[in-house]
Chains A and B, each alone.
Chain A
Amino acid sequence: MQSLKELIRFMRPYRKWAILAPLFMVLEVAMDLLQPALVERIVDEGIANLDLQLVVNTGWLMMGVALIGVIGGMGCTFFAVKAAEAFGADLRGTLFRKVQSLSFSNLDKLHTGELVTRLTNDVVQIKEVARMIMQMMVRAPFTMIGSFAMAIVTSPKLSWILLVLMPIELVFVIFVVRKSFPLFSIVQKNLDKLNTVLQENLMGVRVVKAFVQMRHERNRFETTNESLKDITVKASRIAAVAMPLMGMAVNLGIVAVVWFGGIDVQQGDMQVGQIIAFVNYLTRAMMSLVMVAMLVMRLARAQASAIRVSEVLDSEPDIVNSPDALTDFSPTGHVVFDNVSFSYDGDQGDPVLKGVSFDVEPGQTVAILGTTGAGKSSLVHLIPRFYDVTGGCVTIDGVDVRDVNTDVLRRKVSVALQEPILFTGTIRDNIRYGRPEASQEEVEHAARMAQAHDFIISFPEGYDTEVGQRGVNLSGGQKQRLSIARALLTKPAVLVLDDSTSSVDVETEGRIQEALASFMKEMTSFVIAQRISTVLNADKILVLDDGMVAAEGTHDELLDSSPIYREIFESQLSNGAMANV
């Protein structure tokens, strides 16, 4: 329960509520426990003595006790909910801020999908458990102990029945849990397997159909389905023993009370009302025991969530600003890579870049070519310090990027990423994402250069059109053009276009290049592209192969000197040749 305990610190600001809640619960439980004792009084003192007044008074008293009880119950709920929700919100907020502080390599390790689950489902799980602890973790044990005590008070002679039955009940609970829990985790595994088959069939639908393996897939599914059914039936049947078994323990107690209590009544040692009350306390005590067992199981599950959440909380950002990092930085854009090596897994990992050196003058446009996995994206990601080099250094205007405050640095280096991600909001908001204060003219200017203006104004709401999850569906090429406009608007000293026109049709791509030609003279630009046609006019072409600079020069120079360049050129010719359609 270590991780769960660690999270308790988030409850500290709300400890007043967290303490009040159980206190109110104690009140409710105490009132609950009074009820059987009052019934006993009605039966043994009222009815036995034919004391009508006492019966009526006690009846009203029971009503009063019920009313006080409800105040306790409602008070507990009130404070427990307030504390749990505030706790949950703080936990979520802390996690969210943590994620914002993490670097790219942290994010690579945590996986996007998992991270979302941790911030949503896991936090909810933990919050629910926090509330349960404040309510049920007090209620159940207190009811159990209280009922037990009241039972002894009611009839010390019969209390041995409880002493015998409670351990038996406990053994039953543990037995069923032990037996069925492992089975249910097998059920889960089988369910996962079935889902995998499903997912594969959805993703590989073309392959399944092309190779006519529908029958094979059906067999595969049906086999998995059958074993899922078998194990579910088995697990459920064992788990189904739980309730009758535990009920049986309680009922055995009732029979024992009737018989042994009957003897006592006959001997005049006991009254009927006591029997009724005792049966009631016995039932409550035993049922609370079951509740406690179930709570413990629930805690164990929340523990898994707590571990996942703690993992995020405990991760340290890989990239932090040094205390004396430059905050005043206005580079002209002279970018130098000096013997840079880089690996995603630190020093030990497979190097992605090996001894890369080059020098780019302000205002130059550099095209980077290479096959998939050659290290093109990795290279440009080092300029805004998305990752840190593992060897050598990257400097802008002679300053190592690690010596500049990352916020300041990234405002000077704009990247249009490979995958164009847009956020919920208007098209305008998305374009001025990097510079929210930009005017409409500036936004439009950027959009025009990115060849996005025309399609934007073709929407009825123009720049106010909503995009993102609930907005219009943009094609991949349209998204990329917005992403380019977004990068252009920041007017950076260094502009990076990371394969950002791959889904744009060739004709539009040509127009973007034309429009950008003069704009890009004012800044240093890096352009990663698959198509040769996009790089023909660059001041400098870097050919990357297996993490190393294989060749460097202009198009004409490279055709003469670099066999690799020529090979790429030739292999892309058919596609490249279609460029200016």
Chain B
Amino acid sequence: MSDREKTQRPRPQMNDQADDKATTVQRSDPPMVPGRGPGGGMAARFEKRRAKDVRGTTSRLATYLGRYWRGLVGTVLMVTLTSVFNVLTPYLLGLAIDDYMVAGQMSGLARMALLMLGAYTGMAITTWLQTFIMVGVSQNSLRDLRNDLFAKLQTLSLRYFDQHTHGELMSRLTNDIENISNILTSTVTQLISSILTIVGVAIMMFVINWRLALVSILVAPATVLVTQAIAKHTRENFRGQQRALGELNSVIEETITGERVVKAYVREEGTIESFEEKNGEYVYYAVRAQILSGFMGPISNMLNNASFAVVAGLGGWFAVKGLATVGTIASFVNYSRQFTRPINEIAQLYNSIQSALAGAERVFEVMDEIPEITDAADAHSLEGVAGRVVFDDVCFSYEPTTPVLKHVSLVAEPGQTIALVGPTGAGKTTVINLMMRFYDVDSGSIRIDGRDIRDLKMDELRRHLGIVLQDNFLFGDSVLANIRYGRMEATDEEVYEAARLANADTFIHRLPYGYNTVLTERGSNLSQGQRQLLAIARTILANPDILILDEATSNVDTRTERHLQDALLRLMAGRTSFVIAHRLSTIREADKVLVINYGEVIEEGTHESLLAAGGFYHDLYYSQFRGKSAVLAQAGH
């Protein structure tokens, strides 16, 4: 892989952006309408991966919650109280009917009504409080998790970012965290409350009337069994639907991304055909999956009604026989509903817990990543750099099988300008990447003022090195903030001065809000040349001892280039500079020209000495102008 491709890798791909967009849309969805919503949520569930190490992941997640244990205890307390009220109220209703209403005891009924009112109010308050407390706990834990994850990302080396796409990393930081957020916020409380309710209701039913309790409890699992059986049937169709949807969406995405090619080759008709095929296939599966899963609603509704009928019918039968009271029936009608609901809920919770744990596992995977490049325990700090840079027999490869640099040695004396020349893919950018310690050498060493850079503190090393890249990243912030990025503590005056030195001052003043103009995403409201000037200003402000310029003036129109050139010369004065050369003038003025080809330094000297030597550089220089030496003489002034 050439180093040009290497540097381009971290740019966002169209796919990634589309993915991000899609996830944003999903994220903004408020919770589904409770009850019988369409089976949309279901479809998503089947594609989720399952966690591999459930116990380890759970306990790790628990440590994040554990920091807020007071809130957790409060939540559990509130959930318990809610469940108690929840279980108690139907009993009170039955009691009111049997003991007071039927008996006609008005004062007792009044007391009962007040008691019920109290219980209901209590339930409302504890229900609210449980969420109130839990939201604090879960959001604080999530914040910690996000902070930890981000801090971890900051320590990882470039190789990690090469190997993982932005889409993938963004998905871990957004989707996966969002999944975790869901279980932390609602699932935990729901689980506890469901279990407590099931147990409580079962107890109450047995206390009130064991015969009817037995019947109700036997009906409930039947409901669950039926719904689970349907779920099993729909799963197959859901998989088909998910697959078909994935294929359909990728046809859409691919076509729209390549729409210009479609039009250039007049392939609209064929494209529509293959789309229609996938569209039809999706509908085939979607209809089946949605209908089957949609049946779940009416069927569980029917089972509910049936258990209602059983309770009422049998209860009535018992009542006539004197084995139950009217109030009992009233209570049981409520209880039978309260009993089946949490059982179904737990079955559904299982799925969301699974997908959240899988998400958590992916998050922890990043956290467990060992940074490839770290400071040695006894790393030295770096002060008063003279700027002597030595590459000593350096070998390096991005991937083990393809060496990129082979035994590269070079010496740059303090203040010298070194031009790196060579074809694309020869390894020029890699030399720079190694000097910045974005990657570590495989063998050999790089020394600054005699010290191996691996023995230096990384932060300090980089503070002494200034880099201007071919495509410089700018932040979606003001011009001022972007320049100040070079040195955070710089005053406004220093920033202006740096901009003036970089020849950026003039165009900045022409921007609508001058230095306070906020750049759009990646600075796309500036021309490439203007972006370069800002990047140079940023580096001037940083005031590095050693300067690295990676084709800093390519892709810039000739007028801007002159400005850039001036600014760069000012920047290079008195500093050791490495320049990936691009202009003939730069090469000519360099103290030393290194010709790199296939990862090796094959020639070294000044422009004149290299030309005179008649070697590779000479050949390169002349080869393409065979028979046009007259022209060349003219071009070379």
Contact = CB atoms under 8 A, between A and B. Distances in A.
19 contacts: A35-B309, A43-B326, A55-B317, A66-B302, A70-B302, A96-B252, A99-B255, A113-B18, A194-B146, A203-B166, A204-B475, A206-B10, A210-B436, A222-B150, A237-B132, A258-B97, A258-B113, A301-B29, A570-B584
B612 interface: no
A205 B9 CA distance: 12
A233 B262 contact: no
A421 B258 contact: yes
Given A116-B256, A243-B127, A476-B5, A202 B102 contact: no
Given A42-B312, A536-B624, A571 B473 contact: no
Nearest to A372: B555
B200 to A, nearest CB: 17
Interface string A198-224: 111111111111111110111001100
Contacts of A191: 27
B55 interface: no
B298 A70 contact: yes
- Specify the main secondary structure of chain B where it touches its partner: helix
A179 interface: no
Nearest to A267: B104
A580 B624 contact: yes
Interface in A213-243: 213-214, 216-218, 221-222, 225-226, 228-229, 232-233, 236-237, 240-241, 243
- Specify the main secondary structure of chain A where it touches its partner: helix
Given A213-B485, A581-B597, A112 B259 contact: yes
Contacts of A574: 421, 581-584, 586-587
Interface residues of B, number: 178
B290 A205 contact: no
A15 interface: no
Contact of B423 (A245, A406, A566, A581): A581
Rank and list the top 9 A-B pairs by shortest CB-CB distance, nearest first.
A59-B313, A73-B298, A62-B309, A204-B473, A77-B294, A240-B131, A55-B316, A66-B305, A371-B557
B295 A77 contact: yes
A477 to B, nearest CB: 8
Interface in B12-63: 12, 14-15, 17-18, 20-22, 24-30, 33-38, 40
A163 B634 CA distance: 98
A187 B284 CA distance: 38
A258 B20 CA distance: 54
A243 B128 CA distance: 8
Most buried by B among A84, A414, A574: A574
A112 B257 contact: yes
Interface stretch (A289-297, A333-341, A344-352, A359-367): A289-297
A566 B514 CA distance: 36
Interface stretch (A248-256, A322-330, A389-397, A517-525): A248-256
Contact of A258 (B93, B256, B475): B93
Contacts of B287: 81-82, 85
Contacts of B207: none
B516 interface: no
Nearest to B178: A191
B158 A205 contact: yes
B117 interface: yes
Contacts of A184: 30
B154 interface: yes
Interface stretch (A4-12, A117-125, A150-158, A451-459): A117-125
Contact of B101 (A226, A275, A571): A275
Contact of A117 (B15, B18, B262, B263): B18
B139 interface: yes
Interface string A57-85: 01110110111011011101110111011
Given A211-B542, A573-B584, A291 B35 contact: yes
Contacts of A505: 2, 423-425
